[in-house]
Structure 1
Amino acid sequence: MVHDEHNWHYKQALQDAKNKTPMPWIGIYVAVASLICSLAMAADVFHGFRHKKLWFPCKFFVLNAASLTLLSVAMKLPTDLSTDMPGKVDQLAKLSSTTFLSTAIGNFMPSLGSIDDKDIFMNITALTIFVITILTNICIQLGTGLLSNFLRVEHTAVIFCMLVLFVISSFSALTVSTTKKHIQMKYTDVHKKASSEVSEETETFTVEKLKENVKKYWMMAETGNPQFVMARSVTCSASGAICSLTTFILAEAEIRTFLTSTNYPYYFNSDYKSSIFFVLVIQSIGVLIGTIGPTFRWFTAIRSKLSEGRGKSSKSVLKAEKYWMERLVWWRESPLALRIRGQKRRKVVHITKNLILDFCINVQKVIVAASKSVLLVSVLLINPLWSCFHYYRVLKRKLVSKPSASNNNTGSESEFGPNAKLDLSCYVLYLEGEEELALQIMKNYRNATDHFLLNGRKKHPKYLKQLVEKSTGFMGVAKFDSDRVPSLNSEELPNYWSLPVVTLTTIAIALPNIGNHEVDRLLRSISEGLLYVSHVEKFLDGKGEMVNIRNAANIVWLEVDLFRKWLNEDLQKMALERKTSKETLERLGDIAKNIVMEFKTNMTGDLKENHLNWPIKAIAANSMYRVNQTLLLDHICNNDETDERLFEQLSVMIADILGACLTNLPRVINMKCFCSAIEKREKSVQHAAHLLGETEEILEVLQHYELPPLNPDEAAYIDEWRALIKQEMQITIV
């Protein structure tokens, strides 16, 4: 009997050991999930520092299904009720997990601004279930003694902070659509003012005015960024204070545990083996990194309040603005969409709904008042240190600046330049209660666009600039396609900017007796130029009528640029085989004519009616035929023309077309500045600033040219330029 009992215990021990075998791998799984979340938070911190956005927008670690899934894996230890974890490292790892979740919730808050209502509802619901599960499991472990008394106070404090963070985040999410609506209304009003100023300055548009316009729209886009609106809210700053508190609690628990632990063999004894130590280290580092963003938002709010100074009563300071409750009030006043029979039942449901929403409104008021109280207390605590620092700076400035006051005044003017005179305060978008914050925001972000302009200048197209400088006007726009060329179609295809450039470049490459370095330089110039031509064509072809022509130019250019071929014809081989430029032009013209005639033979009725739907090969061949015939007519009139001279004429013609096209860039930049989608606004203005920085030198060259009297819509199309220039040429001849 004793022997059987001994065997049973032995088998039970073997089974327990077998069951615990995968535990270290589970620990590694938890550590990897925690590491991924930590790296995502670290990436957001790096992105914020790199772009000097100390409110740290959420770009990588956002509230979505992927992050919640990773967090659910990382929270394996707090939800483990079956594994005996008596070791102090086990207990610390559970505390680090709950602290890690609290930090994650604090980091999620700005991302709420960039999520639509449906996704907010789904993600907050998932987060609610997740948080309730964690809280329930922790409470069970506290009640049953699975969590030791050694860290009971820390566990209780952290789960309380996590619950407060969750409630703050959930109620803050209710204001997202409301704040977006208010910001959008302000953006519309300010945009009308900015666009009217632009239309008044169109006649005398300069690069400096374009820079000012980009700065105005950048201020509007940056201050109206939904994530920034959420990040500068009082609830978000309060969450930063709570995240800092939970980090301090974890640090205190770890320091106390390490200082009081003496029995190291049992200290690391765990079913998770050494993986539990990796979980603790990774999550502790993740908490430290994840606290940076919320803490900076908290201190930024403190600094803004200190800069504002005093002047408001405590009652008005703690008052919740209307937009915090606007959505809840609207729900309370709106009838239910549910169909309920019976007047008494409808009455009961209506009263119940109002009671619930009244409770939520009061909770929202308490959250806002408590958040403002946290900020107010923080300001009162920091104010003595801030005053000492402020007085120190003033005293240092007086002592240092006195001997060289005149030099310092000059330096201050040169530091800010013309930007110091540009008042951007009226372009700051703010909510009710943020009036005094507007000036502080304007000071912080007034020169933010200089960074993007500088990055754009570093990538300026030097070869394109050299080519555009060859232009002496815009006569090449009218010369590349002559009216004397017999048409192959009853209705001629329209020209668009990129296709004539590609066609002329193709011909230039095929010319004999041209040095490789000249060809390479031209190709680099065209590669840079077509990038900006594509911006003009994409933004100004509003109806999309020229899509096929643009596609034809892009596909043909890819073949020309990479393989020196045009529709499978080897251009380098052609340049070597032909002895004169005339032979090359005739060869290319014959190939193009044959392609067009072959296509017309097999053309269906739909293509006959709409030439814009022609296939790419036919569009490219038609352009080549007309340009070739035009050049042949000029070549016949100038028999003494050399290959080098013809190549130079083609280069000047291309420069004229590119120059005329790029005069539309200011309009494109202005169009990029304005973006109706609130989530894409900032990136769109950033692209506009980059584009302005890249093309600044070219625009300065072009602004000295006398432009034809075309309205902006007409100036977007090369055929309008050709018609007007030819008309002026005829008037001059007469």
Structure 2
Amino acid sequence: MAGVGCTVDGNLNNSKFSQPMPSIGIYIATASATCAIAMAVDAFYGFRHQKLWFPSKYFSLNATTLTLIAIAIKLSVDLNTSMPRRQDQLAKLSSSALICTVMGNSIPSLGNMKNKEILMNIVALGILVITAIVNICIQLDTGVIYVFWKEHALIMFLMLVLLATMSSTALTVPTTKKYFDLKYNKKHKIALKECSENDLKCSAKKLRNDLTRFWMMAHTCSPQFVIGRSATCTASGALCLLAAMTLAEATLRSYFMPWSIKFCSGESDYMWSTTLVLVTQIVAVIAGTIAPAFRWFTAIIFRCPKKANKACKPTFQVEKYWIQILVEWKECPLALQICGQYGRKLTHDVKNLILDLCIGMQTGIVLASKLVSLVSIYFVSWFLISYRSCKKLTWFLQHSNNVENNDSGSESQPGSELDLSRFVLYLEGEEELVDLMMENNCDVSHWILMGQKRHPKFLIQLLAKSTSSQELKGVSEFDNDRVASLDAEEPPNCWALPVVTLTSIAIALPNIDHHSIKQLIRSVNEGLIYARFVENNLNAEGEFINTRKAAEIVWLGIDLYHKWLDVDLHKIALQEKNPEKVLEELADIAKNRFLEFRKKDVYGCLRENPSHWPIKVLAANSMYRICQTILLDYEMGDYNDSSERLFERLSNMIADILGACLTNLPRVIPMDCHRSTIEEREESVRHGIVLLGKAHKILEMLDQQPLPSADPEQLASIDAWRSLSKQKTSPEPICSSTVSDTTAFRSSDVYLSID
């Protein structure tokens, strides 16, 4: 077909090869914008959560970001496309500056990687950077880049230095993680001794103090924070800022000093899209420079003590952790099987020579980074000292009239404060940072306040019904032992399944105000979040897995569609039956579901451990038993066929069960903080502190509740709680001996005999 791939003469048709391709520019701009958004979100996250070392949460070094970077810098590695105009040449420079920006942003992300991931990502980044530098040099030689050669040379130098800095930082990650893991475990044992771990009914204030200890340990040994306060990260922030300033200088000079630079006329193959790329990449460089610049400035603040005579104290020594892994590699013998003593000796000598060279380079990089920090501190320290002096003077003038009144209280204040200096984890050479890290990062009020702003108000209103009775009777009353089992054995109960089943029954009751049902669903929705958190930490073993899944699946249908499995509860409520008939109908439906599965049970699932029953069978068994229990109580209760009274009774039962479950929170929150790995430990402790803020009112409400046991292990599951309640009190029989014959007939009818 002539004209498609070949000409009429049979030669290759290259008429479209040189046509303008603005779509490529749009592609590059899209990748650059994606990087800009990710880096800007990281900066916003750091400001919002007061993490001024700006952890790499959304923009980290991985395969995805490396691919985006490779697309975004296409202009700087394009060897043969003509780029004559001002914006074309600036776009070449902005692509190079973007490489420095993304490297400066992604350094902390090395802390969250495994050793193999670090090696692979650093090698991939090194290949990308070397390729970009080689291509830029070729373009400078061929004339594709004919201006800003000094700026290009500086940025290429910054690329190499940043790559060396990242590699140097990566070498310390395995060593520091191992060191902090050991040190954290020792400090954690000390913290546990001070936390009286067996006191279940601890106050919210005491729990806050406990979490503050855990937060200080987890925060100061967080791998990203360790990197963020290191000398290499400080230097990388300064270098990244220098790259951004270089791009800004070239851009301003080209637009405001046009006589100093002469550009060519003509148009590039990317046409108008080059301007779009330039604007996008300038925005990306600006957004990406925020985090490294603030890391640099924050590190300077850390390194600038408050007293002028201690400012700018040089610490030009290379601590052991910087070169420890290289020393270990040097001491380890090679696993290569080389014949001959001479060959083995030569290989060993070459290995030692290479590692000695690496140790020398590592030492040089660290010393150079500390020199950058020292120069930065020298220029900034006097400004900080002046600022602190003015701030102290202002505070003194404002409080000079109250000094005498506060003298007596100031003596007792230090003794009442929590001493956290023992829980600050630091590396060799960071001794002077202990007070500053404690001062700037030990206050957990921000996280507590954040949690209090999002407290579960509907759950608190529901639990008020439970705490008003001063006893959590609903835990033992939702299931009566007089109700016959549908099978020889009963499956274990979790906290959530009875709550979900009771809520299903409440929704099916007729003549209940829609607002009341909506309020109950919201309350249970909030309560199940906390119940799930408790069960994930206390009842995570195999026998509770299916029961918990049953609760989650059943609740999904109730919350979204008002359906228990496939039974429309709203439709049952509209039938205008009395509450007793509704209970009987639900019990019959559950019983039939169980028997239906029993007939199809060709593999004998029901004859196995009840905890391994299918999810729908567990849900049907729970519905059947609870409905029959309420029917037994219905005749003796003063309900008068009133749906409102029964709804209130069910709501109280739900509140009691959730209240009993949430008494485990003071035990579970610290437990969850310690189970995570070192990379996730800080986030888990922060989550625990926010959770404490959310549950603060709940803990205060439940603090006065009498518990059936002082042993927290015996209150972890609902079945253990019910057993303790029965042992503690001898409950009166729900049905007296004067029950009518019809009631006796109905209650005896629930007993099944299944061969």
* The two structures share one fold, judged by TM-score above 0.5: yes
For 1:216-245, what per-residue CA distance to the aligned partner results, in whole angstroms no more than 9, with x for missing partners? 222222222211111111001011111222
For 1:238-281, what per-residue CA distance to the aligned partner results, in whole angstroms no more than 9, with x for missing partners? 11111222222222222333333259996663324333333333
Map 1:320-359 to 2 at 5 A.
320-359=318-357
CA distance in 2, matches of 1:490, 1:535: 31
CA distance in 1, matches of 2:546, 2:340: 63
> What's the counterpart of residue 233 of structure 1?
230
> What's the counterpart of residue 160 of structure 2?
163
> What's the counterpart of residue 295 of structure 1?
293
2:676 partner letter: S
The match for 1:195 among 177, 189, 192 is 192
> What's the counterpart of residue 218 of structure 2?
221
The match for 1:427 among 413, 423, 433 is 423
In the alignment, is residue 470 of structure 1 matched against residue 465 of structure 2?
A: yes
> What's the counterpart of residue 25 of structure 2?
27
CA distance in 2, matches of 1:28, 1:488: 67
Q: 1:212 to 1:28 in 2, by over 3 A?
A: same
CA-CA distance at 1:608 after TM superposition: 0.6
1:226 partner letter: P
Map 1:31-180 to 2 at 5 A.
31-148=29-146, 151-180=148-177
In the alignment, is residue 438 of structure 1 matched against residue 434 of structure 2?
A: yes
> What's the counterpart of residue 717 of structure 1?
717
> What's the counterpart of residue 365 of structure 1?
363
Unmatched tracts of structure 1, length 5 or more: 1-14
CA-CA distance at 1:364 after TM superposition: 0.7
> What's the counterpart of residue 743 of structure 2?
none
2:435 partner letter: L
Q: 1:237 to 1:408 in 2, by over 3 A?
A: farther
CA-CA distance at 1:140 after TM superposition: 3.0
SS in 2 for 1:423: coil
> What's the counterpart of residue 682 of structure 2?
682
Say if 2:200 and 2:710, in contact at 8 Å, map to a contact too: no
The match for 1:592 among 577, 581, 590 is 590
CA-CA distance at 1:704 after TM superposition: 0.8
In the alignment, is residue 273 of structure 1 matched against residue 271 of structure 2?
A: yes
How many residues in Structure 1 have an aligned counterpart in Structure 2? 715
Map 1:374-385 to 2 at 5 A.
374-385=372-383
Q: 1:461 to 1:113 in 2, by over 3 A?
A: same
> What's the counterpart of residue 454 of structure 1?
449
For 1:192-225, what per-residue CA distance to the aligned partner results, in whole angstroms no more than 9, with x for missing partners? 1222323356155111111222222222222222
SS in 2 for 1:469: helix
> What's the counterpart of residue 317 of structure 1?
315
> What's the counterpart of residue 727 of structure 1?
727
TM-score (normalizing by structure 2)? 0.88
CA distance in 2, matches of 1:299, 1:315: 17
> What's the counterpart of residue 661 of structure 2?
661
> What's the counterpart of residue 695 of structure 1?
695
Q: 1:493 to 1:104 in 2, by over 3 A?
A: closer
Say if 1:589 and 1:629, in contact at 8 Å, map to a contact too: yes
Q: Which stretch of the first structure deviates more once superposed, 694-703 or 282-291?
A: 282-291
Q: Which stretch of the first structure deviates more once superposed, 573-582 or 348-357?
A: 573-582
Q: Which stretch of the first structure deviates more once superposed, 431-440 or 680-689?
A: 680-689
Q: 1:708 to 1:289 in 2, by over 3 A?
A: same
CA-CA distance at 1:531 after TM superposition: 2.1
CA-CA distance at 1:404 after TM superposition: 4.4
SS in 1 for 2:465: coil
> What's the counterpart of residue 542 of structure 1?
540
Say if 2:198 and 2:711, in contact at 8 Å, map to a contact too: no
> What's the counterpart of residue 11 of structure 1?
none
Q: Which stretch of the first structure deviates more once superposed, 700-709 or 23-32?
A: 23-32
Q: Percent of counterpart pairs with the same letter?
A: 51
CA distance in 2, matches of 1:117, 1:291: 27
Q: 1:331 to 1:518 in 2, by over 3 A?
A: same
SS in 1 for 2:585: helix
In the alignment, is residue 259 of structure 1 matched against residue 256 of structure 2?
A: yes
In the alignment, is residue 502 of structure 1 matched against residue 506 of structure 2?
A: no
For 1:598-619, what per-residue CA distance to the aligned partner results, in whole angstroms no more than 9, with x for missing partners? 3334434343131112222222
For 1:611-666, what per-residue CA distance to the aligned partner results, in whole angstroms no more than 9, with x for missing partners? 11222222222222222222222223347644233332222222221211111122
CA distance in 2, matches of 1:94, 1:116: 35
Say if 2:200 and 2:666, in contact at 8 Å, map to a contact too: no
CA distance in 2, matches of 1:343, 1:528: 72
For 1:147-175, what per-residue CA distance to the aligned partner results, in whole angstroms no more than 9, with x for missing partners? 43x53322222211221111111121111
CA-CA distance at 1:56 after TM superposition: 1.2
Q: Which has the higher helix share?
A: 1
Q: 1:268 to 1:32 in 2, by over 3 A?
A: farther
CA distance in 2, matches of 1:207, 1:131: 52
CA distance in 1, matches of 2:599, 2:296: 73
Unmatched tracts of structure 2, length 5 or more: 1-12, 734-755
CA distance in 1, matches of 2:386, 2:314: 28
CA distance in 2, matches of 1:369, 1:289: 29
TM-score (normalizing by structure 1)? 0.90
CA distance in 2, matches of 1:413, 1:596: 70
Q: Which stretch of the first structure deviates more once superposed, 261-270 or 287-296?
A: 261-270
For 1:28-54, what per-residue CA distance to the aligned partner results, in whole angstroms no more than 9, with x for missing partners? 333332222222222222221222211
CA-CA distance at 1:383 after TM superposition: 2.8
